[in-house]
Structure 1
Amino acid sequence: MPFPFFAFLALWVCGHADRPGEHSLMVELAKRAHGNHCQDHILESIEAKMGANRKEWIEGQSIGFEAALRPLFAVLPHTPTGGLTANAARYALHRVFVDARGWNVNGLEESKLYALSLAQNGPAELPPLHRILQGEVPQEVESAFEKCSADMGVQELALLAATLDELVHQEVLQQVKAVFKAKKLPMFGHIDDQQLQKVLEQVMIGYICDAAGIVSPEREKYIDGKLDIKEKYPSWLNLQNFLHSIQEVVLPTQATRVDFEDLTNVIKELNEHYGRWQNGECQVLSQELRQLESECPGHVPLRDFYSSHFSRGNWQFTESVAYLRSLGALEESQREKPKLISTNYVLGANNCVATSKYYSQCCLNQCDGHLRKLEKAVAKSEVAPDDLQAAVKAVLPEPDMPALVSKKLVEISQKPGQAGRVALHGLPFAEWLHHAYPRECPAPKIHNLPEELPGHFETRNGKSPAFSDEDMEAYLKKLPEVDRDQECHIAWTEEPVETWTMESPVESRRLLEVTAPFSSLWVCACVGMLLGGLVASRFTSKNPQASNESQETMTA
């Protein structure tokens, strides 16, 4: 009979599949052998409630997202059944959207992941992952994603990413329609290239106003040109040139008249590439901060940060102490000598532009590039310190203070629950990366203060996120002079070691060690049963007598 044969074959094959990656692969093979019902259910719900065209668009986009997710899926912490843990799934989507689009999706912010990983019940407190869709899909589609959320595989994550991407596309359509309607432009006719440029500029001015918390009627005055947007966004001329370059790429060079669909394609392309363009400004900002460094690389004495606003004309260095603290951009281990953490400042919400209700365009995290190289080099989520140190030496630049940070890797691996390994995507290694590469890697945010756009911070706190010149001068008088000969001192946190697993690290590892042989056999048996069942069903469908005999045997 085919059924026991396939079960036996699967058990024999799985004799060597005792590693987490191979275990996950067998689970995925089991899903595919029986048909990925979860993925199919999501697509069926999308087609039934959102239409065949939108379903086809989402399914097509998911291919690219799946390819981007697979390398991460292989090295992030998994559940015992092979899916990603709740925090790991969020981190994977965050990384893919930042890498592919430069989008910081609302609800997937990396700093919040590290903060939540410190909470006693972090994963249980996380909102459902499908909330990133902002309730803009039918309830049946949300329910389909929710049913798959307990143990999401790479296909389901890719579909969720593609669905969000499609919602952004629909949002773009609505924004363009609103501008056309306000300016009484023809929806089904043509406009000339000057009108096109004007519409693009008005859409971008709207984004800038939203990020700065500028509301009507002042917002309309900026959009109409009655107020100069350069006062709020000094890089406006550079942005205009970028808009023009996008037009040249998307539209035929000989086109002098375009229609609504052409304009929509231009803005879609703009949304996808704006984050990369904006990152050029972020690099300039990083260089300005580097010139202000004193004894510690990647850190600027707060006194020098504020003083440069007056002495160097750094117009953007005005954020208040309270707002910098909420961004996680202050190093206050020596409270009388606070320092600005340059990378956290550059990556903060203060440098984001809210171009969508679903995401913000923020500066790109250079540390993600370091992590990608390490993920490829070690190909697992937990690594022995010697192996990790060898990988760092092989694929990354030499760290600052190499002896100190190398010793720290051993200390991390010896903490309770680590079993001599370092979690590649845990809080302690994130902090290690910050100390090793302070100009590229941010300090993990360990407090629960919300990181907000300036306008949202002011609304919630009733205080301005920026100092006035008078407030800044008053604060500078309180700070002591900077000691240029002082040695660098940046404190290490002594928070409990946590990794992104459903249980605590030690419980999760013991569970895997105890149950791995049995779970592997169980998974492999399931594969065999599924394969055998499929063959048996085909066999019996062609042989009614065999089908009757099988039915009688089951009854007995």
Structure 2
Amino acid sequence: MAQGRWALLALIQVAICPLSVIGRSDGFVVEKKGLRARNIDVEAFKAEVRNAMDEALGCGGEVSEKHLQATEEVLHPMFITLPKNGNGRLERRSLRYLVYRYFHRKSALVIRGFEPTRLINESTWGAADILSEQVPGFVESVLQSSHLTESGFDLRDAAYMVATLEQLIFDSESALLEKVYNLQHKPLSRMLSEQGLQQLLEAYIAVWMAGDDIVSLLGNNRELAQVFPHWDQLLLFARGQISALDYQRENNPKLNMQAGGNALLKRYSFDDAHAVVGEITKSFASYWESECRAMKQKLVSLDKRRTGRVPLSKFYGKSLTDAEWRFGESESYLRELGALDETSWLGKQVIISNYIQGASNCIVTASHYSVCCINECEPIMAEIEEAVKGPLAEPDFMLSLVGNMTALTTLEDEVDVHLDESLVAQLTSIAKAHGGKVPIHGRLFAQWLHYVFPRDCSFPHKSGAAQSLSPTQFGDGYLASDDEMEAHAKDTKAEIPLATMKKEELQWMSQWSEDEELIASYSGLLASPSAFGFQGGASKTVILLGFGLFMLAALIGGVSFNRKVPNQDFLLPSASGKTHFV
């Protein structure tokens, strides 16, 4: 058993510590070291995992205190609102949730193994057959082993987890960049001209977004434009990243010295190229957000009653009439993603927020993460967390807080929140089921937020009701055929009531479920046993392992444009293989 675990640990070390020397822009230099090929026993295993994590944080170095403190500042408002154990520490489920929120909020990155829909067994680390999905459990085990007398994780532990994952992403970028250098027959030690760096970045972005399947088209912008939506804009994005690096070097003598005085000469090293691709990873979601917003706006234009839902007939009709490369997912795939509401008497409807956050709309899928549309519910939750400053809130306080917010879909579509009697009653019911207070990281509150902000906050399905599978993971049938779309588009039975009936008359909250799922134990926080809701008519509470606040895209494999493109020969499969949820 010990030797088997060591072999697995060695694989992880190979993945995160290749033999190379790379500079890092945030201040610490990463000196890679070779593996220490020796056997260990079970008792030494945790110590060795700790060493592996230290190496992931710098392969012998340490992450800077300044960087850790900056990370903690971002984590802190979320950290203080999560339930703690008797030692004032987070449970491991909350740790994963916190780290997931950090990356999604900062860069719209979803880290493999941290997806909120992933179920984690409390007694195991949930190791799966995909390397990047094993990392969270090992890092958790190291962090937990550092608290010999206390269980759980503190804020610094969460910052270390973030730093470990940042290092993992940093190394994966380096490996892909080296691959693109080799594809273009550029020695790693050669200084590149501005044109050479531009060519390199164009190839990098193409392979980063589409994998090896695109290699044969590199350098052929006409063909690439047939595969990638807005390829010309992606080229401009790459040029903009070079200009940003030039500006930093020209205005920072220290950076210019680190570049060997090449700033004015506009010559670029491997480290310079790596710094640029690192910024591409961090900023790509913001760049691509205009595409996400355009897609959402098309759906919002069909949502005349502000229910956050669009009849399936209109969804497919939009694709057919506008010749859209989007809105082509099949009914079965939409159901699997949790983006299909089938509870209404109006018929099947696409849930706008769940669809936008769905795996099919994640534009980039790398080995350890995916880049998706920005979650527009995050600013709402951030405001709530900042005001509540704890895991529980009084219902009256929450009604006052949320009631003074506005829903902003576009600059022209800003409306005040309207809390009608049914929404007030639902929040009161949630509080009653929990001893008079509302757990703000529970499924019922997330569900309530969805109905308050139906276009921004995703509907939180019960555990196991939906899976965040990419198109290629889902397999054949993820696209609807033209015949299927035409058949649905002809079903117009929902159009008359949607046009003539008031929102309340549509029974638009038909998907509401009384099942609660909490992100962690609230033992000692809730007022009484009745808070667990097992009395007549109250909600059934489930303490869920690994549950996240929102049903977001899990995104392993596939890219958002691999549904309908001008040339169907260029539908791109994922290289990541199957996903096993544990």
Partner of residue 234, structure 1: 229
Partner of residue 516, structure 2: 497
Structure 2 counterpart SS, 1:451: coil
Distance change in 2, residues 1:294/1:433 (3 Å):
same
Partner of residue 443, structure 1: 459
Distance change in 2, residues 1:366/1:260 (3 Å):
same
Contact 1:78 1:85 in 2 (8 A): yes
Partner of residue 557, structure 2: none
Structure 1 counterpart SS, 2:80: helix
Distance in 1 between residues matched to 2:76 and 2:525, nearest whole Å:
26
Distance in 2 between residues matched to 1:146 and 1:356, nearest whole Å:
28
Q: What is the one-letter code of the residue matched to 2:174?
A: L
Deviation at 1:221, TM superposition (A): 2.5
Q: What is the one-letter code of the residue matched to 2:426?
A: K
Map 1:343-362 → 2, pairs under 5 A = 343-362=353-372
Deviation at 1:226, TM superposition (A): 8.2
Q: Which runs of 5+ in 1 are unaligned?
A: 1-40, 514-556
1:409 corresponds to 2:427: yes
Distance in 1 between residues matched to 2:189 and 2:460, nearest whole Å:
50
Deviation at 1:142, TM superposition (A): 7.1
Report how many aligned residue pairs link the two structures: 451
Deviation at 1:496, TM superposition (A): 2.5
Partner of residue 343, structure 2: 333
Aligned-pair identity (%): 24
Q: What is the one-letter code of the residue matched to 2:484?
A: D
Distance in 2 between residues matched to 1:496 and 1:47, nearest whole Å:
38
Partner of residue 455, structure 1: 472
Distance in 2 between residues matched to 1:52 and 1:369, nearest whole Å:
32
Distance change in 2, residues 1:220/1:239 (3 Å):
same
Map 1:339-488 → 2, pairs under 5 A = 339-395=349-405, 398-415=416-433, 418-446=434-462, 448=464, 449-458=466-475, 463-477=476-490, 480=493, 482-483=495-496, 484-486=499-501, 487-488=505-506
Q: What is the one-letter code of the residue matched to 1:250?
A: L
Distance in 2 between residues matched to 1:349 and 1:396, nearest whole Å:
28
Q: Aligned-residue CA RMSD in angstroms? A: 3.2
Distance in 1 between residues matched to 2:218 and 2:470, nearest whole Å:
21
1:87 aligned to which of 93, 97, 115: 93
Distance in 2 between residues matched to 1:367 and 1:54, nearest whole Å:
39
Q: Which moved more, 1:232-241 or 1:299-308?
A: 232-241
> TM-score, normalised on structure 1?
0.73
Deviation at 1:122, TM superposition (A): 6.9
Distance in 2 between residues matched to 1:404 and 1:335, nearest whole Å:
19
Larger RCO: Structure 1 or Structure 2 (Cα < 8 Å, ≥ 6 residues apart)?
1
1:275 aligned to which of 285, 295, 310: 285
Distance change in 2, residues 1:45/1:224 (3 Å):
same
Structure 1 counterpart SS, 2:350: strand
Partner of residue 179, structure 1: 180
Q: What is the one-letter code of the residue matched to 2:431?
A: S
Deviation at 1:234, TM superposition (A): 1.5
Distance in 2 between residues matched to 1:351 and 1:234, nearest whole Å:
13
Distance in 2 between residues matched to 1:122 and 1:491, nearest whole Å:
32
Deviation at 1:401, TM superposition (A): 4.7
Deviation at 1:48, TM superposition (A): 6.7
Structure of larger gyration radius: 1
Distance change in 2, residues 1:47/1:399 (3 Å):
closer
Tell me the alpha carbon deviations over residues 123-144 of structure 1, each in whole angstroms, 9 at most, x when there is no partner. Answer: 5587379x995457997x7752
Distance in 2 between residues matched to 1:76 and 1:47, nearest whole Å:
25
Distance change in 2, residues 1:290/1:427 (3 Å):
same
Distance change in 2, residues 1:160/1:408 (3 Å):
same
1:222 aligned to which of 217, 221, 241: 217
Contact 2:314 2:489 in 1 (8 A): no
Contact 2:113 2:136 in 1 (8 A): no
Partner of residue 167, structure 1: 168
Distance in 2 between residues matched to 1:98 and 1:148, nearest whole Å:
27
Distance in 2 between residues matched to 1:453 and 1:501, nearest whole Å:
28
Distance in 2 between residues matched to 1:85 and 1:272, nearest whole Å:
28
Distance in 1 between residues matched to 2:343 and 2:58, nearest whole Å:
57
Q: What is the one-letter code of the residue matched to 1:223?
A: L
Q: Which moved more, 1:323-332 or 1:81-90?
A: 81-90
Distance change in 2, residues 1:264/1:137 (3 Å):
farther
Deviation at 1:316, TM superposition (A): 0.6
Tell me the alpha carbon deviations over residues 132-174 of structure 1, each in whole angstroms, 9 at most, x when there is no partner. Answer: 95457997x7752352595011111110110110111111111
Distance in 1 between residues matched to 2:48 and 2:137, nearest whole Å:
12
Q: What is the one-letter code of the residue matched to 1:431?
A: Q
Distance in 2 between residues matched to 1:349 and 1:54, nearest whole Å:
36
Distance in 2 between residues matched to 1:52 and 1:320, nearest whole Å:
45
- The structure whose residues are more often helix, as a share, is 1
Structure 2 counterpart SS, 1:300: strand
Partner of residue 69, structure 2: 63
Distance in 1 between residues matched to 2:307 and 2:490, nearest whole Å:
25
Deviation at 1:109, TM superposition (A): 2.4
2:143 aligned to which of 118, 141, 145: 145
Tell me the alpha carbon deviations over residues 83-120 of structure 1, each in whole angstroms, 9 at most, x when there is no partner. Answer: 1123322221111111222211122223x16xx5xxxx
Distance change in 2, residues 1:428/1:506 (3 Å):
farther
